[in-house]
């Protein structure tokens, strides 16, 4: 064995695929990617590392215990990094049932499969095994004042079916360590952005709508504040926690980039004005429209990431200005291939490198 053997659930999604690409590029570790390939799972996200002998893909639902047991037996991981989740707040409001199934029942099923496998290991391997659960800052609810931040000790107060289901999964992970001794860790991150982000999310939606001459919808006055984290910075942090973090601990991961939603949209418009001007010479900002706010919309999220900086030496490499420019350039370069495949649904009909229907 050259390195670790890391089982990544949700590895064909936005953050999961960034993590898998990072592990294959930057380490000697083997990766087994487990993904159900729902609408957000896209094998094109993994195409550039798919020919690596250290990469393996399994189309598996984390609620399927028999299939999980098979993967654990055959791959024999040293680490589990659990990212598989339903993650879109609006979708959770329209249909919360799938969020309960995947985020709560799926996490429970994965924990039990991992515990069963962990109990079968020899003492040295059992001691080295880690289960890293990747969560969100939305479990904390929202912040009151401009000087407050989410810390590892912040009480949970989820506001949406999505964040409530993630809070539940966090509690399950911690309980499996407290009750059964399974060595688990939890990370809570701020809003991610970057390449391969599914187009229903704010930043890619604004980029693509702007280019297509469509309205750019902003909830309410657009004054909701989020802390933005470039996805490749997040991937580096996740790998550090999985391999260097302490079982039983929680690490918050943030980007030091607080912006209102309206600021984000206007920044994207300015970049597009520079990089791909409108034919009529007007600013893309003229396409901004304000729409009715969604129910239970949290006002401000902001993470204090000082612990992971202090204990593991991680800080983000990208500022919001550098990261958002990279992101806009990536979408401009991939509008006719990756973006077109996602928007048309063609990506659902392709297996990695085969063109076969999954």
Q: Which residues are catalytic, by number? A: 137-138, 162
Three-state SS at 335: helix
Residue 56: is it exposed, middle or buried by C-beta count within 10 angstroms (0-12/13-18/19+)?
A: middle
| Range list of H helices, the chain | 14-26, 65-75, 89-94, 97-99, 107-119, 123-128, 161-180, 202-211, 231-244, 261-275, 306-312, 320-334, 340-344
Q: Tell me how far apart the alpha carbons of residues 25 and 155 are, in angstroms, rounded to a whole number.
A: 37
- Residues 349 and 225: beta-carbon distance below 8 Å: no
Q: Tell me how far apart the alpha carbons of residues 322 and 255 are, in angstroms, rounded to a whole number.
A: 12
Two structure tokens written together for 40: 């957000």
CA of residue 205 relative to chain centroid, distance: 17
Q: Tell me how far apart the alpha carbons of residues 267 and 270 are, in angstroms, rounded to a whole number.
A: 5
Angstrom CA distances, 112 to 120, 131, 167, stand at: 13, 11, 18
CA-closest candidate to residue 250, choices 301, 303, 300: 303
The number of residues making up the chain comes to: 358
CA of residue 114 relative to chain centroid, distance: 21
């Amino acid at each position: 064995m050259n390195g670790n053997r890391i089982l990544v659930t949700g590895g064909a999604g936005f953050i999961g695929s960034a993590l898998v690409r990072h592990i294959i590029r930057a380490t000697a570790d083997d990766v087994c990617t487990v993904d159900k390939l729902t609408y957000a799972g896209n094998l094109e996200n993994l195409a550039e590392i798919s020919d690596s002998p250290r990469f393996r893909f399994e189309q598996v639902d984390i609620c399927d215990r028999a299939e999980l047991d098979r993967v654990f037996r055959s791959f024999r991981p040293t680490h589990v990094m659990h990212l598989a989740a339903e993650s879109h707040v609006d979708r959770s409001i329209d249909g919360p049932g799938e969020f309960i199934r995947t985020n709560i029942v799926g996490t429970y099923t994965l924990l039990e499969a991992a515990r069963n496998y962990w109990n079968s290991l020899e003492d040295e391997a059992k001691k080295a095994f880690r289960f890293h659960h990747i969560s969100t800052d939305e479990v904390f609810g929202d912040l009151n004042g401009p000087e407050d931040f989410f810390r590892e000790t912040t009480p949970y107060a989820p506001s949406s079916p999505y964040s409530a289901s993630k809070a539940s999964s966090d509690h399950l992970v911690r309980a499996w360590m407290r009750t059964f001794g399974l060595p688990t860790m939890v990370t809570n991150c701020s809003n991610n952005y970057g390449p391969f982000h599914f187009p229903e999310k704010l930043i890619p939606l604004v980029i693509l709508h702007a280019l297509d001459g469509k309205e750019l919808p902003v909830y309410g006055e657009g004054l909701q504040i989020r802390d933005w984290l470039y996805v490749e910075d997040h991937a580096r942090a996740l790998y550090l926690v999985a391999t260097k973090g302490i079982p039983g601990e929680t690490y918050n991961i943030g980007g030091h980039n607080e912006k209102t939603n309206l600021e984000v949209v206007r920044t994207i418009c300015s970049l597009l004005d520079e990089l791909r001007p409108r034919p009529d010479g007007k600013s893309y900002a003229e396409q901004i429209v304000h729409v009715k706010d969604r129910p239970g919309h949290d006002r401000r999220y902001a993470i204090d990431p000082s612990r992971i900086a202090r204990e593991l030496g991680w800080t983000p490499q990208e500022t919001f200005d550098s990261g958002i420019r990279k992101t806009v350039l990536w979408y401009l370069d991939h509008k006719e291939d990756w973006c077109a495949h996602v928007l048309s649904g063609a990506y659902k009909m392709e297996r990695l490198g085969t063109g076969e229907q999954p």
